């Protein structure tokens, strides 16, 4: 190691900080999300020193085969959410526009593509990838985004192509995805330069399944009245089921969280003081405005008790056979919430309306996410016809704050809540 190289010294600093933090967590009963994320990113940023490989992977991509080979998974979408939450989205999106990317494109992609060139954003950029893993089960945008990064970083790109399930999951699609899992494993072996550890993958698969069950159980606690947590809390606690699915860290974290939530339920503690109205959220959060929205709804004694977004990371558990993880993951990853028809999505929304017993539906019409947003107008209509509850559609963007009109949205929320309150009065 060249001691005089400031880049290396900085990496060493990050590494030592991460190790110290990790050690300190051993004495902590329930590490916080912030603690765990610090360790995660410092390990990722010092991968050069530890000799571990870094893979960038899409949020819906199968991370378990990477974890089993000790590869550090990095999620540009999670990074996009961090950029949005720290209100750095508009600046980075503008930077992407000067590079030639239309401002109609996905703001996660725009801010990440811009960030890679300047190492900006809340954590000074992501660690350089050794490989890119793109699973198109969430959108076609990720294909274009990962092609862009493959050109920029000049590293191998693996595409896991999960055919869209408009009306079902057909045999030929099942065969195609299953054979790609083998190709994926060969790809990882190639980049890592070592034989694949299938026994380890079996264990990681069990932990992944366990983590998903726990995450679903955490979300389920919000069915209680009052709800011990809201969708806004779920947006925060989601990070581990996305980034560290298949690890003991995630399992322990959600065990603790579940215990806390159960305790709150037992003691009748709601997250919104004096919860009177319960709402369901659809689409990716408006990251720069999560706190504002949370306070806005709470001021009406309304709690967003559940959402279609955070439950997507445990929504296809029904297809997983934990003892045949590698075979069943093909189907589970293909049939996730966004890779299915609008009618099936509407069915899921209605099941959630019933399960969480909500009074209204709030849909974020997200300029950045076409596959999530196109079809929402039909979902809104179907919900109206089948459950008759009021729906509110908010036009905004998940990262780019320039698409958010605060006064207009405040007025619309107030009007929507008036309708909900009137309905509640007439029922009593």
Partner 1 sequence: MYSIANLQNIVDNPYPYLQNLKNEKGKKIIGTVCTYAPEEIIHAAGALPVRLFSSEAAIHRADLHLQAYCCSLVRGILEEALADRLDFLDGMVFPHTCDSIQRLSDVWRINLTKTFHADVVLPVKLTTASARQYMIDVLDRFRSDLAGYLGKEITVEDLSSSVKLYNENRSLMEKLYRLRSKHPEVMGGRDYHTIVRAAMIVEREVFRESLEAIVDGLEKKVGSAGPSQAKRLVICGGVCTSPDIYDAIEEAGGVVVGDDLCTGRRYFDVLVDETHPPLEAMADRLIKRAVCPAKHTGITSRADNIIRTVRDSRADGVVFLLLKFCDPHAFDYPYMRDMLEREKIPSLLLEIEDQSQAGGQLQTRLETFVQIL
Instruction: Please give the residue ranges that form the binding site for partner 1 (CB under 8 A).
Output: 99-102, 104-106, 109, 136, 139-141, 143-145, 147-148, 150-151, 157, 159, 161, 163-164, 166-167, 170, 172-173, 175-176, 179-180, 183, 341-343, 365, 367, 370-371, 373-378, 395
Residue 43 structure tokens: 């390990």
* Helical (H) or strand (E) element with 307: strand 302-307
Nearer to partner 1 among residue 177 and residue 305 (C-beta): 177
Helix (H) or strand (E) holding 280: strand 277-282
Q: Closest separation between CB of residue 157 and partner 1, Å?
A: 7
Q: Which is nearer to partner 1, 162 or 249 (CB)?
A: 162
Instruction: Rank residues 5 and 378 by Cβ distance to partner 1 and give the closer one.
Output: 378
Q: Cα separation of 339 and 58, whole Å?
A: 14
Whole-angstrom distance, CA of residue 378 vs CA of residue 350: 13
Output the smallest distance, CB 170 to partner 1, in A. 7
Query: How many other C-beta atoms are found inside a 10 Å radius of the C-beta of residue 168?
Result: 10
Burial of 353 from C-beta contacts in 10 A (0-12 / 13-18 / 19+): buried
- Least CB distance to partner 1 at residue 337 (A): 14
* Token digits of residue 251: 């399992």
CB of 147 to partner 1, least distance (A): 5
**C-alpha separations of 143 from 25, 109, 130, 150 in Å:** 37, 11, 18, 10
Q: 123 or 345, CB closer to partner 1?
A: 345
- For the bound state, the minimum distance from the C-beta of residue 78 to partner 1, rounded and expressed in Å, comes to 21
| Other C-beta atoms lying within 10 Å of the C-beta of residue 151 | 10
Nearer to partner 1, 184 or 232 (CB): 184
Q: Which H/E stretch holds residue 362?
A: strand 360-366
Q: Please check whether residue 372 is in contact with residue 338, taking contact to mean a CB–CB distance below 8 angstroms.
A: yes
We find the least distance from the C-beta atom of residue 151 to partner 1, in angstroms, to be: 5
Shortest separation between residue 193's beta carbon and partner 1, angstroms:
22
Nearer to partner 1, 31 or 61 (CB): 61
Give CA–CA dist 393/412, Å, rounded: 9
Which is closer to partner 1, CB of 71 or CB of 114? Answer: 114
Is the alpha carbon torsion for 194, 197, 200, 206 positive or negative?
A: positive
Min CB(115)–partner 1 separation in Å: 15
Supply the minimum distance, in Å, between the C-beta of residue 403 and partner 1: 10
Q: Report the alpha-carbon distance of residue 76 to residue 125 in Å, rounded.
A: 10
Nearer to partner 1, 39 or 113 (CB): 113
Residues 6+ apart with CB under 8 A from 132: 55, 56, 57, 146, 149, 150, 153, 155, 156, 157, 158
Q: Which is nearer to partner 1, 49 or 393 (CB)?
A: 393
Tokens representing 108? 């996660």
Work out the end-to-end distance of the chain between its first and last CA atoms, rounded to an integer number of angstroms: 73
Nearby residues of 33 by Cβ (< 8 Å), 6 or more positions away: 236, 237, 239, 240, 253
Provide, rounded to whole angstroms, the least separation between the CB of residue 295 and partner 1: 27
Q: Which is nearer to partner 1, 99 or 410 (CB)?
A: 99
Neighbours of 350 (CB within 10 A): 16
């Amino acid at each position: 190691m060249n001691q005089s190289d400031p880049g290396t010294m900085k990496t060493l600093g990050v590494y030592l900080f991460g190790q110290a933090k990790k050690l300190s967590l051993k004495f902590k009963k329930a590490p916080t999300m912030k603690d765990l994320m610090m360790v995660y990113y410092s390990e990722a940023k010092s991968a050069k020193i530890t000799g571990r490989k870094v893979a960038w992977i899409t949020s819906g991509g199968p991370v378990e085969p990477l974890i089993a080979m000790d590869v550090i998974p990095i999620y540009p979408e999670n990074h996009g959410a961090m950029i949005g939450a720290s209100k750095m989205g508009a600046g980075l999106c503008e930077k992407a526009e000067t590079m030639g990317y239309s401002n109609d494109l996905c703001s996660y992609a725009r801010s990440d593509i811009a960030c890679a060139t300047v190492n900006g954003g809340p954590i000074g950029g992501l660690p350089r990838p050794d490989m890119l893993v793109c699973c198109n089960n969430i959108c076609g945008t990720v294909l274009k985004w990962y092609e862009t990064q493959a050109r920029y970083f000049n590293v191998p790109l693996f595409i896991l192509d999960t055919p869209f399930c408009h009306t079902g999951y057909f045999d030929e699609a099942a065969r195609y995805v299953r054979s790609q899992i083998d190709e994926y494993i060969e790809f990882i072996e190639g980049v890592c330069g070592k034989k694949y550890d299938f026994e380890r993958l079996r264990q990681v698969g069990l932990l992944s399944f366990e983590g998903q069950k726990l995450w679903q159980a955490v979300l389920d606690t919000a069915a209680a009245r009052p709800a011990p947590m809201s969708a806004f809390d779920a947006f925060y606690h989601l990070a581990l089921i996305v980034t560290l699915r298949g690890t003991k860290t995630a399992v322990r974290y959600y065990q603790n969280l579940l215990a806390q939530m159960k305790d709150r339920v037992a003691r009748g503690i709601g997250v919104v003081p004096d919860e009177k109205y319960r709402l369901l959220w659809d689409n990716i959060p408006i990251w720069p405005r999560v706190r504002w929205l949370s306070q806005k709804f709470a001021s009406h004694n309304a709690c967003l008790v559940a959402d279609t977004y955070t439950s997507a990371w445990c929504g296809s558990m029904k297809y997983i056979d934990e003892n045949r993880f590698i075979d069943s993951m093909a189907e589970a990853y293909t049939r996730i919430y966004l890779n299915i028809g609008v009618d099936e999505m509407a069915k899921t929304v209605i099941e959630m309306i019933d399960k969480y017993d909500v009074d209204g539906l709030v849909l974020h019409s997200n300029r950045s996410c076409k596959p999530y947003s196109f079809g929402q107008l039909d979902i809104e209509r179907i919900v109206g016809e089948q459950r008759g509850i009021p729906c509110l559609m908010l036009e905004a963007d998940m990262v780019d704050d320039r698409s958010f009109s605060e006064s207009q949205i405040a007025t619309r929320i107030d009007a929507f809540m008036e309708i909900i309150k009137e309905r509640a009065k007439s029922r009593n």
